[in-house]
């Protein structure tokens, strides 16, 4: 983490497969973005009122997914790898991925975005994951 070495940058690296960034006609949805995209100190400056609710998973919670509502388009400001200020507008899956990763930077996890009903339905699975994690930490 940047804080451990006296830095305050927040960094996200996103590399989505090209097949996730095409429309029905096969055209790129976000042609202005080359993968992987590196976002330093990213900040969403605008989000569309139009949202989409899709099943979302997370590497932090393997085998767990939930319907999550997110803005379909967002505008970001960030620094690129050369430290130059950038602004981009991204759509659909890439916008979802950016929002998911910015949640992580802000301490928000997938389970924090789940509906109360989904949390109740997954209570047993979440408890087992918590217990397993605690046991692994105790071994270290």
Catalytic positions: 101
Helices (H), the chain: 92-105, 110-113, 116-121, 123-139
Do 44 and 75 contact (CB within 8 A), yes or no?
yes
- Block residue for tokens 């055209």: 27
Rg for the chain, CA atoms, rounded = 17
- Block residue for tokens 């605008």: 46
Q: What are phi and psi of 127, to 5 degrees?
A: -65, -40
> What is 118-130 written as a DSSP string?
HHHHTHHHHHHHH
Do 91 and 29 contact (CB within 8 A), yes or no?
yes
């Amino acid at each position: 983490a940047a804080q451990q070495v006296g830095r305050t940058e927040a960094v996200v690296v996103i590399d989505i497969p090209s097949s996730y960034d095409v429309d029905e006609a096969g055209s790129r949805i976000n042609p202005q973005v080359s993968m992987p995209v590196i976002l330093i100190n990213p900040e969403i400056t605008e989000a569309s009122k139009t949202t989409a609710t899709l099943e979302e998973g997370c590497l932090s919670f393997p085998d767990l997914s939930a319907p999550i509502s997110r803005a379909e388009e967002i505008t970001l400001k960030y620094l690129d790898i050369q430290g130059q200020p950038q602004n981009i507008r991204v759509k659909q899956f890439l916008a979802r991925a950016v929002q998911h990763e910015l949640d992580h930077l802000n301490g928000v996890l997938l389970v924090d975005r789940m509906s109360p009903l989904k949390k109740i339905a997954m209570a047993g699975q979440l408890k087992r994951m918590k217990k397993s994690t605690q046991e692994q930490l105790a071994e270290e």
